[in-house]
Structure 1
Amino acid sequence: MRADARKNYSHILSVAREVVAEHGIDASMRDIARKSEVGLATLLRHFPTREALFEALLCTNLDALTQKAVELETSNPPAKALESWVGDWVAFAQTYKGVVSMMAAAHTNPASALYASCAAVHSTSARLLASAQEEGTARADMNGDDLFALMTALGWAVDQPSFAPRADHLVRLITSTILTRQSGNDVYK
């Protein structure tokens, strides 16, 4: 990529981050181009679809999130790692209004620009769940798809202004449903 194109790309992403933080996933591509002081054609050359723009916006956050899961796995018992992961996911989900519904739609669509990121979140969640199940601290009757669905539902809920203040409480409720007991023998069920 040429130096000027790389500069435009970085500037567009920076402006897009601000616009999307303010307006959510329905932010206008035209507004992003205008506020970036580039033409719509330039924006679309870098990001041909809304999903491509969101993949670029989210990939750093999602990479950091999945890396955090690795750290959680190595420094915590499986149940605690899973509980922390769900909390971290919800914090991520609150980053951009509407991002969870976009990711839920992309989750089963290999043609989507967000598919790889969704697959990484899904596989990380499944791995953390499997570890907790092997430890005997998570329900045995659920799988990674179930956990991804619950996390998506929770992400959607805390995206609603009326539920956002209760995010931590809702995370505890959901994780207490998933976890049969935590290490330290605190019984949930």
Structure 2
Amino acid sequence: MAEATVRPAVPADAGEIARIQLDTWRTAYADLLPEAVLEGLDAEQAALTWRQTIEQGPALVFVAVEGPYLVGFCAAGPAPQDETADAAGSPAKDVETVALVSTLLVEPRWGRRGHGGRLLAEAGRAMRDAGSTRGITWVPEADKATLGFFERARWVRDGTVRTLDAGGRPLREVRMTGTLSIELI
């Protein structure tokens, strides 16, 4: 295996981040999202959004690199109050120190090589440095691979679920929470 690293994303990475996002969604979420939704994803718009996020935040974006290839990315930042709320809408008592891992994707052909763990560990370190005490993320309930990844990182389902409208098809997501001190094994 070539040298694998994680680094902060730079604006020039936006196009490759968008490509990874769209390719990964089209592969990994083909059974979860309607074909029309996946076909309607716009690479240029996604790249513009990622460039703005990298330049302006509020999330920090990290990229995984293996040799010369960008193979995955993670976006994490302060969790909006509504993302920490319980089913009744009450915000978490620690809302001010909760980080949201909004996206963590590794291109499937580069999977099972430790990139996801390195991305989560680096995002966790940055969020701890910014004052966060724990993390949350939302995962499609049917996405067993991602659920398993976060469980191996010692994150747990906190009992909160939400259902999104995914192009006319309901997409049920579970919220997971866990430590920002990720130990790579």
Normalising by structure 2, report the TM-score: 0.29
> Comparing both structures, which one devotes a greater share of its residues to helix?
1
TM-score, normalised to structure 1, is: 0.28
Larger radius of gyration: 1
Identify, as 1 or 2, the structure richer in strand.
Answer: 2
